[in-house]
Structures are given as C-alpha cells and as structure tokens.
Amino acid sequence: MDVALLNERVTFQRNEAVVDGVGNHGNVWTDYYTCFATVGGEGLASSGERQEAGMTVEDVSMTVTVRYCRKAVDIMSTGCRVLFRGEVYDIVNVDHMNFKKRCLKFTCRKVRR
C-alpha cells in the first residue's frame, strides 16, 4: 500500500442510542474514527441514475481504502457510515483484502437527503 495515496480525510460514524434527561431514547450519529484514506471508484458500475417517485435520482458509489488498525476492523456495514467532504455515505460492503492485515476497503453509496 502506497502511503502517499492516503490523501483524503474521512470520518467514520456509529449509530448509538442515547438517553436524555427525561429518559427518552433516541438515535444519534457519533464520530468513531477519523483517518486519511484513498478514495476512488466514483462512477462504479453500480453507480448511475434511477427513478424514484417520479424523479431521476443520482446513485453514486465509491470505495474508501484505509490502513489496517484495531478501530478500523470494528467498522461494519450495519450501524456505521462515512463522512467525506461534507457528504454522507452508507457502507455497503467491507473487504478485508484477503485478511493480510494491511488495509481495509469499504464500498459506499451516497445517502440521499
């Protein structure tokens, strides 16, 4: 893995349940891990446009590759998301790259707000 390619800062967030002062439960996205990553694959084969409720919606996918570490290993496709340049991306797939413990690749899809 070429360290010079890790040139974009990304933040991984986790969905956690919190309790307010009255005892109400709610879900909140909290920052879990921030690191530098290689971002690529914008315009993957799965990217494109689709029709949703009579509107044409852009469906953008990308890959995020980070160095292997204990915090990154705990990131799963459920309950986690990626923040990149102010945009929110859901994690679709986690690739451990043959379990060589060098890097992790996350396939992400842009969240429509």
Tell me, what CATH number does 95's domain have? 2.40.10.270
Please give the structure tokens belonging to residue 72: 């990154």
> Position of tokens 């919190």?
18
The helix/strand/coil state of 66 is strand
What average pLDDT does the structure give for the chain? Answer: 87
Report the chain's terminal Cα–Cα distance, integer Å.
34
Which pLDDT tens digit goes with each residue over 31-73?
A: 999 999 999 876 555 556 667 677 776 777 889 999 999 999 9
pTM beyond 0.85, yes or no: no
Domain of 106? 3-110
Domain tally, the chain: 1
The pLDDT confidence band at residue 107, using thresholds 50, 70 and 90, is very high
Contact 51, 57 (CB under 8 A): yes
**Rounded to an integer, what distance in angstroms lies between the CA atom of residue 28 and that of residue 9?**
22
